[in-house]
Structure 1
Amino acid sequence: MTRQLPSSSRRSSLAKKAMAFATAALALSSRASAAKRAGTYEIVNHNSLASAMMLGVIDEDNVFILDKAENNSARLADGRHVWGSFYKISDNSVTGTDVNTNTFCASGATLGNGSWLVAGGNQAVGYGGAAQAQNLNPYADYDGTRAIRLLEPNSSTWIDSPSTSITQVNMLQSPRWYPGIEVLEDGSVIFIGGANSGGYINRNTPTTDPLYQNGGANPTYEYFPSRQTGNLPVCQFMGQTNGLNMYPHTYLMPSGKIFMQANVSTTLWDHNNNVQTALPDMPGNVVRVYPASGATAMLPLTPQNKYTPTILFCGGSVMSDQMWGNYSGPGGDILGITASNDCSSITPEDNQGNQTPNVQYVQEETLPEGRSMGQFIHLPDGTMVIVNGANKGTAGYTNATYNTIQYNGKTVVTEGLSQDPTYVPVLYDPSKPKGQRISNAGFSASTIARLYHSSAVLLADGSVMVAGSNPHQDVSLDMPTGTTPQAFNTTYEIEKWYPPYWDEPRPYPQGVPNTVLYGGSPFNITVNGTFMGDSANAKAANTKFAIIRPGFSTHAMNMGQRAVYLDYTYTVNDDASVTYMVNPLPNTKAMNRLLVPGPAFFYVTVGGVPSYGKKIMVGTSFTGTGNVPFTAALGSALISLPAPVNSTKFTASISRAGSSSSSDFGLGKIIGIAVAGAAVLALIALGCCLWRRKGRNNNEKAAARQSTAPWTSRDMGSGPEYKRVDTPVGSVHGGPGRFGAARMDSSHTFESYRMHDQASASESKEALGGYYDQPRSGSRAGYASSPLAYDQHERGSSQGQYQQGWGEYHAGDAGAYYEDNTNRYGGGSGGGHSYDDYPPQQYQQQQQQQQQQQQQQYSQQQRQYYDSPRR
């Protein structure tokens, strides 16, 4: 039996129908995708000017970025390289700023008066991180090992006045690279340990001087403002943790002691009397500090857990003592060692400062994959997200045979010590039962590897800013792809990660205070009936008042990060609005220590959806320098709040019951994928129709035409581990401008290190030096060896000097320059507007215009679909 084919006119009609359906389906998919950003990343700026080794949130609309002194192509007006910048959230713009001292691997915090402090760092360097005298080309940088830099409230200028005089007021008493830092209850700061010049870890092998490492380590501690004269006291814990003690994890406890964790050891340290109380070691010998760099945070402090401090650790590394090596690098090839997936917690004290009896670490759960260099970010809905990191290796970099490759006839040192970036974030929900707290379901992967020297912070709008990554001694933009080991570029893209609540309508509370004190009378906050609606009772009962300090972000840590939730009651009014009565912080010294005085952000989360955060002051109403230390006032005891008052009119349940589960928005993605799949099937059907039609008219097979385009490095890398990353160079807007050098294409592998960026037309590449000869020598003629150069750890027959550092990896090819897109992404936290005006009218209009345009496009596509058969 012969099957009759449709007529030509009918095939044409079918083709038109298939095309119309495919167009409409793709439009629906696109529309759904555009509307749903929750659980995804978005690149909001392609050039941070300085690679973001460090981040700090200044206010609702501004974030500072700090890098080390290195060969970033952006320049200041005086021609100096940029290693500091400011990111403006509302328009996604970036501007460079002057920093004088080398901020490489500094620590940071907010003082009790609201000022930002960034302290310590590295000595003055030239190209390739080679040590040199201060204030010389190419960077004209100054020694940062003893620097204390201040950024006052409402200022856009760092107070960073370098001096060779040891009597300078804003200077540490001793050099510190990778120091621990903790803000105290009086608003002052303590600095703990660190290295004098640095390396992979803070020790020599064999170790004959555990405390000072023959001059390499600094086991002392000091305060700012200074409390001490003469010789600084020694923290014995620095010697006991033998090298794995740079950037120790520190948390001020209710007793006033400092919980401290380094290597696999844990202690409660009375810093006032320099007395330690040993706590249990980390289970499984998992190292959590740098360079293992596990994620760590204090869990949210809530009325429900009676503000009892619990510290959570996730990820890190387990290696033998020999493999941890010494200053020069690991004891062997660590690139294939999988990071730990363990999550363990400890509760050192109760909420009154009494040590927990028989305290032990408790294994929580396991991560979906092992992760080094992940970092926890508190979200205002009470959850925590882990972003960034790698599944194999550790933080840091070195020059060794195992990360040296041959590529296009050249020897390339990939430098970085990690592989297999972890692109998908992980959510931790402490309110859920054990075994259900960790999930990454529904989350999309980033397209950018964030490894060593990456950073992340919570923004006032409730999104997470993610930036940085640089596993190199200096800027490197021409790393090849598709190699083993994989190399990664210096990274300048700024991303936002949107939490599960992002697509929901936001509450806009009225009456949020400017200051929250320890004790005193409750305050009232109102949320309007338009937002609360028929489910006002349920939403009122499911409200959280969060005070979050995002902390200073660097090296997979957010130093000083805290999240504290306030107790409240409420009355549901006849118009569906809700008036909340909110107690301030408890009037105890314990709370004064758990959440020390200083700036923070206040969020009101209703039904799992947070408001925009408002910057407030905790424990004091003053801002400005010269006011620390001080004794924070403790007000009257908190009152017992009355019972909530519900309404008989607004009893509906919450249609969107919270943000703690990614499954809420995972369904939307599944629907989008299904619609897109239907579109693809329609296009396949269309293709079949056209092919069969063409086959009847032409029996000749058409061979695919060979491309005449030459092969380039841009074609390299197709797997998820080799995601393409285009790294920008030059001024923000892609041409000669305020920050100097013109943009340049970085796709040509292994040009001279400066990569065409001459200071003058007559300056030769040869005079500037090539990148790959410098790291192997560790020095430049006429200058001392790089501060990161040490005798090679004994692991082979060849000996030499090796430079160390801390960087992360861009998974991808060298890439081309991206234009800045500050005009493309509007909105934000509405800088310059009062809190009660959020979101800004302009932002609302933009959103309405976008929705109208989408609706018009959708209507047109619907008409096309229904009209096409008649055409």
Structure 2
Amino acid sequence: MNIKLILSVFLVGGLILLNEQVNVNAFPTSPLRARQDPGVGGTWKVVGKSGVNAMHAVLVSPRKVVFIDKLEENALKRPDGAAAISSEYDLDTNEVKPLGIYTNTFCSAGSWLGNGTLVEVGGDVGGDNYRIGIQTLRLYDTAVGDWVELEGIVPSNRWYPAMLTLPNGNVMVLGGSTAGAGKSKPEINNPTYMIYPPPSGTLVDVPLDFLTTTLPYNLYPMVHIIPNADGKTLLFMFANQMGISYDLDAGKTVTNYPDIPGGVIRSYPLTASSVMLPLSPTDNYNPTIMICGGSKTFEITAPAEASCGRLELSTANAAWEMDNFGGQGRIMPDSTILVDGSILFVNGAATGMAGFRKGSGITAIFVNEDPVLTPFRYDPFAKTYTTLASSTIPRMYHSISTLVPDGTVLIAGSNPQPKVDLNEKYPTEYRVEIFSPPYLFTQSSRPVIISLQSTQIDNNRINVNYGQEVTMVVQIKSDGTTPSLKASIIHHGFITHSQNFSQRYVYLEITEMAADPTTADQYIVKLKLPPNPTIIAPGPSYIYVFNNDAPPQTGVPVLLSQAAAA
């Protein structure tokens, strides 16, 4: 069918302005985007309690978030009466229920398998009705809504590892230490990685020299898939001040990037945050990494670093481009990619480093101080920072931030305490906040996505494939302005310790858009999904279509995978 539409050829970063009847088969040539921010800084609202401290957080369905804590005496109880250390938070009711974890998850990590199962690995020693978790692998099946624990199957201790969903849909567990420590050291270093499910049928550790070179600041190493057209499993790895590209299939380093300038440590406990900036087909998904925050000194009185570095990973002789992080130093910042492709930097402290307080009461010494209550919004194209509305709740060690499919951001956690303590200056924090970014206050109509591939939108994932052209029905209520649409696919990731494992944002090509002749204010939109899994890993993601920077009422949950061979 030759679909016609009210459309112009003014295209900016996925933007299509509806003006006149033309055949639709156009695509943007520039990643720049028009912005229509209303000039407000967003709003904060305390909506509920997490039940357990939000040391880890992961969006498991459009309206549910799972929190994971360390072993401690939370008020929320499991059915057997023991203190819960994992909970499920309902975004509609703001109620929480305990989940069935029975091993210590302290300082573990997580990521999604391509089949939509969440994997969580590692932890610490047991006690208080909890078993040892340092060699435990946990699976969360959204259909069941609870955890299955495979105790002792991990071949070595994993405390403070990183995790990543690979292009083949398996997960990588990278580094960490064999025991807890303020910073790593040779005798407890775990300079290896493992793959789950194991390609050989047996879980094995594979040596990685990079994790020895970067001692002592190599815990929770930063790792991201590097997009490429060759189908290679290329990884960007960063720890301490050093970054490399690593060919996982060949088992060798491809590129040694220059050290990030300034003599600043960026890894735990001098914790920075890393994010791969939004990818666009207009420049062949050219990848740029951004690393922000950290400190120069392993000292609790040291000021946090006010700098960010940007690095184009596929550029020959790539060099870091530095800025001042909006003028605010942060240790332990969280970086969350928003629906419109801007980056929210939130949480953290202006002084010190990651870790628990020393002592108690009036003699307590907090190793992270001066909470930064004001978030910044970073425009990756203009390279500018905007100051947003401030929270009133300090969010420092063991805090999280995650995007919610309705365009808001859930922010929780903060527990610079070795155990639950509600009476210190910075108490164990259970309050859950929702931050509404400025784009939710635009005057433009928010799209309502009715269906994808003829399937009505609900909380269930819709199966889609790489390179597939999908059809979406969208309602945009007439408000007297001309609709202008952009589209993206976002993987929301797994958040802990200022790292968001596998978080990814990709602009989508809008190949056609047509007014539905049967229904007023309704449009038929065709989108082209990314061509291969190095651009965005397989597994659960959300598709968004937004109008004049007004996000949809909710994104569409999808399960992205390779099409079956004919």
Counterpart in the other structure of 1:555 = 497
Structure 2 vs 1, CA of residues 338 and 576 (structure 1 numbering), >3 Å: closer, same or farther?
A: farther
Kindly state the Cα deviation for residue 140 of structure 1 after the two structures are TM-superposed.
Answer: 1.0
Kindly state the Cα deviation for residue 406 of structure 1 after the two structures are TM-superposed.
Answer: 7.2
Report the Cα distance in structure 2 between the residues aligned to 1:634 and 1:318, rounded to whole angstroms: 50
Structure 2 vs 1, CA of residues 237 and 177 (structure 1 numbering), >3 Å: closer, same or farther?
A: same
Q: Is the counterpart of residue 65 in structure 1 residue 43 in structure 2?
A: no
Report the Cα distance in structure 2 between the residues aligned to 1:232 and 1:381, rounded to whole angstroms: 39
Which of 561, 570, 577 is the aligned partner of 2:513? 570
Kindly state the Cα deviation for residue 580 of structure 1 after the two structures are TM-superposed.
Answer: 4.8
Contact 1:72 1:475 in 2 (8 A): yes
Counterpart in the other structure of 1:247 = 220
Counterpart in the other structure of 1:338 = 303
Report the Cα distance in structure 2 between the residues aligned to 1:176 and 1:231, rounded to whole angstroms: 13
C-alpha distance after superposition, 1:778-807 (max 9, x if no partner): xxxxxxxxxxxxxxxxxxxxxxxxxxxxxx
Q: Is the counterpart of residue 519 in structure 1 residue 521 in structure 2?
A: no
C-alpha distance after superposition, 1:277-319 (max 9, x if no partner): 3111111122222212212211111233331111111211122
C-alpha distance after superposition, 1:430-475 (max 9, x if no partner): 232x4xx2110xx321111000001111112111101111112211
Report the Cα distance in structure 1 between the residues aligned to 2:43 and 2:418, rounded to whole angstroms: 31
Which of 177, 180, 193 is the aligned partner of 1:198? 180
What residue identity is the alignment partner of 1:272?
D
Structure 2 vs 1, CA of residues 79 and 345 (structure 1 numbering), >3 Å: closer, same or farther?
A: same
Report the Cα distance in structure 2 between the residues aligned to 1:231 and 1:476, rounded to whole angstroms: 39
Counterpart in the other structure of 1:534 = 480
Counterpart in the other structure of 1:430 = 380
Which of 228, 231, 243 is the aligned partner of 1:266? 243
Report the Cα distance in structure 1 between the residues aligned to 2:361 and 2:399, rounded to whole angstroms: 27
Contact 2:41 2:389 in 1 (8 A): no
Which of 74, 83, 107 is the aligned partner of 2:76? 74
Structure 2 vs 1, CA of residues 508 and 141 (structure 1 numbering), >3 Å: closer, same or farther?
A: same
Q: Is the counterpart of residue 460 in structure 1 residue 405 in structure 2?
A: yes
Contact 2:491 2:541 in 1 (8 A): yes
Counterpart in the other structure of 1:92 = 94
Kindly state the Cα deviation for residue 572 of structure 1 after the two structures are TM-superposed.
Answer: 5.3
SS in 1 for 2:500: strand
Counterpart in the other structure of 1:413 = 364
Q: Is the counterpart of residue 397 in structure 1 residue 356 in structure 2?
A: yes
Structure 2 vs 1, CA of residues 357 and 598 (structure 1 numbering), >3 Å: closer, same or farther?
A: same
What residue identity is the alignment partner of 2:129?
A
Counterpart in the other structure of 1:605 = 546
C-alpha distance after superposition, 1:333-383 (max 9, x if no partner): x2331111112111112xxxxxx2111111245323101111111111121
Counterpart in the other structure of 2:252 = 275
C-alpha distance after superposition, 1:624-669 (max 9, x if no partner): xxxxxxxx33899xxxxxxxxxxxxxxxxxxxxxxxxxxxxxxxxx
What residue identity is the alignment partner of 1:558?
N
Report the Cα distance in structure 2 between the residues aligned to 1:118 and 1:571, rounded to whole angstroms: 43
Contact 1:258 1:271 in 2 (8 A): yes
C-alpha distance after superposition, 1:125-162 (max 9, x if no partner): 3xxxxxxxxxxxxx211111111111112222111254
Counterpart in the other structure of 1:847 = none
Contact 2:194 2:203 in 1 (8 A): no
SS in 2 for 1:359: coil
Report the Cα distance in structure 2 between the residues aligned to 1:287 and 1:605, rounded to whole angstroms: 38
C-alpha distance after superposition, 1:397-425 (max 9, x if no partner): 363xxxx5873xxxx333x3111100011
Normalising by structure 1, report the TM-score.
0.56
Q: Is the counterpart of residue 472 in structure 1 residue 417 in structure 2?
A: yes
Report the Cα distance in structure 2 between the residues aligned to 1:557 and 1:294, rounded to whole angstroms: 8
Q: Is the counterpart of residue 178 in structure 1 residue 178 in structure 2?
A: no
Report the Cα distance in structure 2 between the residues aligned to 1:155 and 1:262, rounded to whole angstroms: 36
Kindly state the Cα deviation for residue 104 of structure 1 after the two structures are TM-superposed.
Answer: 0.5
C-alpha distance after superposition, 1:679-734 (max 9, x if no partner): xxxxxxxxxxxxxxxxxxxxxxxxxxxxxxxxxxxxxxxxxxxxxxxxxxxxxxxx
Counterpart in the other structure of 1:382 = 341
Kindly state the Cα deviation for residue 230 of structure 1 after the two structures are TM-superposed.
Answer: 8.9
Q: Is the counterpart of residue 509 in structure 1 residue 459 in structure 2?
A: no
Larger Rg computed on CA atoms:
1
C-alpha distance after superposition, 1:807-860 (max 9, x if no partner): xxxxxxxxxxxxxxxxxxxxxxxxxxxxxxxxxxxxxxxxxxxxxxxxxxxxxx
Q: Is the counterpart of residue 633 in structure 1 residue 547 in structure 2?
A: no
Report the Cα distance in structure 2 between the residues aligned to 1:124 and 1:265, rounded to whole angstroms: 34
Q: Is the counterpart of residue 220 in structure 1 residue 183 in structure 2?
A: no
Report the Cα distance in structure 2 between the residues aligned to 1:230 and 1:509, rounded to whole angstroms: 42
Q: Is the counterpart of residue 188 in structure 1 residue 188 in structure 2?
A: no
Tell me which stretches of 4 or more aligned residues in structure 1 moved more than 6 Å. 573-576
What residue identity is the alignment partner of 2:450?
Q
Counterpart in the other structure of 2:294 = 316
Counterpart in the other structure of 2:9 = none
Structure 2 vs 1, CA of residues 468 and 572 (structure 1 numbering), >3 Å: closer, same or farther?
A: same
Unaligned runs of 5+ in 2: 1-38, 454-461
Contact 1:114 1:617 in 2 (8 A): no
Counterpart in the other structure of 1:628 = none
Richer in strand (by share): 2
Counterpart in the other structure of 2:17 = none
SS in 2 for 1:79: coil
Normalising by structure 2, report the TM-score.
0.85
The number of residue pairs the alignment matches comes to 511
Aligned-pair RMSD on alpha carbons?
Answer: 2.3
What residue identity is the alignment partner of 1:579?
Y
What residue identity is the alignment partner of 1:518?
Y
Counterpart in the other structure of 1:582 = 526
Contact 1:517 1:584 in 2 (8 A): no
Report the Cα distance in structure 2 between the residues aligned to 1:582 and 1:283, rounded to whole angstroms: 44
Which of 474, 479, 486 is the aligned partner of 1:544? 486
Report the Cα distance in structure 1 between the residues aligned to 2:262 and 2:543, rounded to whole angstroms: 38
Deviates further, 175-184 or 71-80: 71-80
Report the Cα distance in structure 1 between the residues aligned to 2:212 and 2:98, rounded to whole angstroms: 40
Report the Cα distance in structure 1 between the residues aligned to 2:206 and 2:274, rounded to whole angstroms: 27
What residue identity is the alignment partner of 1:66?
I
Contact 1:261 1:267 in 2 (8 A): yes
SS in 1 for 2:206: coil
**Percent identical residues:** 31
Report the Cα distance in structure 2 between the residues aligned to 1:230 and 1:98, rounded to whole angstroms: 24
